[in-house]
Structure 1
Amino acid sequence: MAGYTGNGADLAGARSSGVSSTENYGFALVALTSLFFMWGFITCLNDILIPHLKSVFSLNYTQSMLIQLCFFGAYFIVSLPAGALVKRISYKWGIVVGLVIAAIGCALFIPAASYRVYALFLGALFVLAAGVTVLQVAANPYVTVLGKPETAASRLTLTQAFNSLGTTLAPLFGAVLILSAATAGMENATPEQVEALRVTEANAVQFPYMLLAVAFLVLAAIFAALKLPQVQEEEPTAIAGHAEGSAWSYRHLVLGAVGLFVYVGAEVSIGSFLVNFLAEPTIGNIPETDAAHYVAYFWGGAMVGRFIGAAAMRYVDDGKALAFNAAASIILLVVTIMSSGAVAMWAVLAIGLFNSIMFPTIFSLALHGLGRHTSQGSGILCLAIVGGAILPLVQGALADTIGIQMAFIMPIVCYVYIAYYGLKGHKPA
């Protein structure tokens, strides 16, 4: 989610064409950084939208997880067409198109709220996610070319930090403009007032998503006016014995795609259930509006963890670091399931800290030594993000069957696989 919002492979393979290292692309870098912030923000706003629409439409957990199915399903459906589109119209205009599509998706929340039809909300989310997918395919390669090659790593850290800043602020934004606006006056409502209050709840999403639509359109205008450098890809040396064939012949890539699938699925599942879980009487016993503020700790932990990981992984083996973080997440989930009250609440929130390095680490390990198959491998890994669509639905079904707390067994299975990949599965055959 948060970690899944930037594709390291695209960045690693990108080089500038005819760009002087002395040119100042500071403003362009600021504009690109805003994109990382925006798609991190819009992705994690779903964590507030889920409990909100669950209340508006009286949904069960499985039905409410259709939000993530539609949002992350767009990655699977749109990634390859987006790549073809960007190749045809250039990266710059791909960014503009992605921003416009995202703005349309946000604007569609207005009729969805007016008609109070859940399917319309899901359709709006799919359009919004399609725009975000085009943005990611188009924007990522630019980050490495906006300055000197030796400072590329610091620029990537900066953009990822702002991505995490977006995921941290989104729950706070949603709590103020969506949940608090919707729940005002609900406590002492009479049966005759319920229908009017449900209308108010549905309409609570109109203003914040209209603000986001305007923001996307402003960014589209800015990028349409910007002069950005051209980008071309180099072909690094492949692992011996794999020069022919396709990326599918690399065992560590295929296992890495599975790892990315379960990682994104686990992180999105945990984030999606936080508000409802923290509101449980045996856990936090707090209103959903207050619970939404605590979700910021989950994503804020990922932001802090990225800075810690960027420094620590200079000295620690990538695979071992991945396995350690997966093991820590497993322990915290066991505590979440087996305990109650503040212990369970802070245990599940602390998982965000250990999620921080997983996406970029799995991505880089999976692409190691692919050579001219790197681009294809990147596409395969992008498709694996569909785990964020499927696994939350699985956890939703478990929550409806065995309870929301026991449903956290599902991400434990995911982290067990990630630990395996870090210790053994990432090694090229």
Structure 2
Amino acid sequence: MIILSSKTNYSKPFSLLTSLFFMWGFITVMNDILINTFKGIFSLSPMQRSLIQFSFFGAFFIISLIYYLISSTKGRDPINKIGYKNGMAISLIVCGIGCVSFFGAAYVHSYYAFLGSLFILASGVTMLQICANPYATILGEKGAESSRLNLAQGLNSLGTTLGPIVGTILIYKVFSDGELTAFSISKTYLAYGIVFFILALVVKMSKMPSFQNNETVGTGAAVFKHKHLTLGILAIFFYVGSEVAIGSWIVEYLKDDKIVGASEEDASYFLSFFWGGLMIGRLMASFALNDIISKKKKYISMLLVGLGVFTMMYIVTGIKIHEGAFNFSPIEFSKIYMYLFFIALCFGAFILSKGKPARTLVIFSSINLVLLVIAVLAKGPLAFIVIISTGLFFSIGFSNIFSLAISNLGKYTSQGSSLLVMAIVGGAFLPMIQSVIIEHVDVQTSFIIPILGMVYLIFYGLKGYKQEVQ
């Protein structure tokens, strides 16, 4: 059984943990760049491009299923046995191997070899999430679990915000001599692989508590007796699937002449505002959902986070490389100023939520439902601003669902975590379903898919999260 001392200071281990959240966010969002980059290298249809997300998020299902089967048949949870720290170090090594294997895929010039490399990389990310998400909830005082996970997810979102910018610069500028090739991609991922190996060494040598648990979890499917977990698995499926669907096809959406007719490079920069919105919302949530700090401190911190991160995004997206030299060419403020209104709306939504994770999930999902309906029906600047602003209201989904779903699971916590991570496979299926609509109808209509996801999240926040043991 894991017992935490309320007097122990876990600030240093938590800081290192957040760097892992940053890296898997950074590497995951690179898929959105690959979807458009591989199109030019291999001449792919929307369905073929959707295999990128299918391969990546399919690994979440397969690896998590294997993990669950091992723990449910052996009666011992692998992470409980080896400890969270060792589990994270091993996961980072697998991520590094996946990244380095991109070089071999480029050498044989095979799209399907690249998909295999993505699967290996995603296997490492899956294992990392099985370890790191519950680790964030137990690494500190009780009552602030959701707040801690939102803070860690905020750093994850910093990775998803910077990923498209750094990836675009490395692939299109640094590792390209004017002609985009498979090696432009493989060299970029080789650099990422080195970072993963270094992080694995740092984690292994660190003083992060291991949190081993020698309790047996029992064989069979006893974990499914917890109804809030079972419904939470579906909630993660629809949440991740909806978020990834938007991230995957938002560039295609913004390139549509009915929307803003943006170039591929400009649309990739706008993508950072979608992912940056998740960072703003998650960092705000780390204060809003924290029962330990005062209301005054909450609101001031949330306001500073919203304005500070927006300023950072505006500056960072203005950094470009032209003819081998860096220059600053920011997005026209007239195109983006309404984003501040949605940040204010996000602030107000947190106040209405009163620090309650389930209530917050309902309010944020309802706002996103409205924004997505507008995105499907509207055209021009209105459609542009609402679609990139949805990230703000996706922000709290994963952390709130996760903390609600594993609440009071006790010895089944790691097993429940693996099942929730398995549900991330929604990121494989929903973008693929959306690609079919894109091919047969149009990209704007395809955004009806994440609308359906929002409907289920509203249900889970209203009723599904309530704890009942069947």
TM-score by length of 1: 0.83
| Structure 2 letter corresponding to 1:79 | S
2:267 corresponds in structure 1 to 291
Please report how far the alpha carbon of residue 258 of structure 1 lies from its aligned counterpart in structure 2 after TM superposition: 1.2
1:231 corresponds in structure 2 to 211
Residues 224 and 415 of structure 1, relative CA distance in 2, 3 Å threshold? same
Kept in 1, the 8 Å contact 2:83–2:211? The answer is no
CA distance in 1, matches of 2:197, 2:151: 24
SS of equivalent residue, structure 1 residue 45: helix
Q: Which runs of 5+ in 2 are unaligned?
A: 72-76, 289-349
SS of equivalent residue, structure 1 residue 283: coil
Kept in 1, the 8 Å contact 2:64–2:419? The answer is no
Please report how far the alpha carbon of residue 366 of structure 1 lies from its aligned counterpart in structure 2 after TM superposition: 2.8
Residue 29 of structure 1, aligned match among 1, 6, 14: 14
1:390 corresponds in structure 2 to 429
1:186-218 deviation line (CA, Å, top 9, x unaligned): xxxxxxxxxxx4xx3322212221110110111
Kept in 2, the 8 Å contact 1:145–1:229? The answer is no
Residues 131 and 150 of structure 1, relative CA distance in 2, 3 Å threshold? same
Residue 208 of structure 1, aligned match among 188, 212, 237: 188
1:92 corresponds in structure 2 to 85
Query: How many residues are treated as equivalent by the alignment?
Result: 393
Please report how far the alpha carbon of residue 394 of structure 1 lies from its aligned counterpart in structure 2 after TM superposition: 0.8
2:103 corresponds in structure 1 to 110
Residues 285 and 301 of structure 1, relative CA distance in 2, 3 Å threshold? same
Please tell me the root mean square deviation across aligned C-alpha atoms, in Å.
2.9
Please report how far the alpha carbon of residue 391 of structure 1 lies from its aligned counterpart in structure 2 after TM superposition: 1.2
Q: Which runs of 5+ in 1 are unaligned?
A: 1-12, 186-196, 236-243
SS of equivalent residue, structure 2 residue 119: helix
The residue correspondences of 1:3-402 to structure 2 (distance < 5 A) are 15-16=3-4, 21=7, 27-81=12-66, 85-143=78-136, 155-180=148-173, 197=179, 200-232=180-212, 246-310=222-286, 311=288, 312=350, 315-402=354-441
CA distance in 2, matches of 1:285, 1:305: 28
Kept in 2, the 8 Å contact 1:282–1:341? The answer is yes
Moved more, 310-319 or 57-66: 310-319
CA distance in 2, matches of 1:152, 1:412: 29
Please report how far the alpha carbon of residue 245 of structure 1 lies from its aligned counterpart in structure 2 after TM superposition: 7.5
| Structure 1 letter corresponding to 2:457 | I
| Structure 1 letter corresponding to 2:208 | L
CA distance in 2, matches of 1:20, 1:325: 32
Kept in 1, the 8 Å contact 2:150–2:285? The answer is no
Kept in 1, the 8 Å contact 2:81–2:213? The answer is no
CA distance in 2, matches of 1:152, 1:316: 12
1:54-100 deviation line (CA, Å, top 9, x unaligned): 22211111111111111111111112545755445433322222111
Kept in 2, the 8 Å contact 1:14–1:234? The answer is no
SS of equivalent residue, structure 1 residue 103: helix
CA distance in 1, matches of 2:87, 2:137: 17
Please report how far the alpha carbon of residue 285 of structure 1 lies from its aligned counterpart in structure 2 after TM superposition: 1.5
Moved more, 37-46 or 147-156: 147-156
Moved more, 413-422 or 376-385: 376-385
Please report how far the alpha carbon of residue 144 of structure 1 lies from its aligned counterpart in structure 2 after TM superposition: 5.6
| Structure 2 letter corresponding to 1:250 | H
Please report how far the alpha carbon of residue 339 of structure 1 lies from its aligned counterpart in structure 2 after TM superposition: 1.5
Residues 15 and 382 of structure 1, relative CA distance in 2, 3 Å threshold? farther
Kept in 2, the 8 Å contact 1:180–1:289? The answer is no
Q: Percent identity between the aligned chains? A: 43
Kept in 1, the 8 Å contact 2:151–2:285? The answer is no
CA distance in 2, matches of 1:302, 1:96: 26
1:411 aligns with 2:450: yes
Residues 144 and 348 of structure 1, relative CA distance in 2, 3 Å threshold? closer
Please report how far the alpha carbon of residue 157 of structure 1 lies from its aligned counterpart in structure 2 after TM superposition: 4.4
2:463 corresponds in structure 1 to 424
CA distance in 1, matches of 2:139, 2:359: 32
SS of equivalent residue, structure 1 residue 284: coil
Kept in 2, the 8 Å contact 1:14–1:144? The answer is no
Please report how far the alpha carbon of residue 374 of structure 1 lies from its aligned counterpart in structure 2 after TM superposition: 4.0
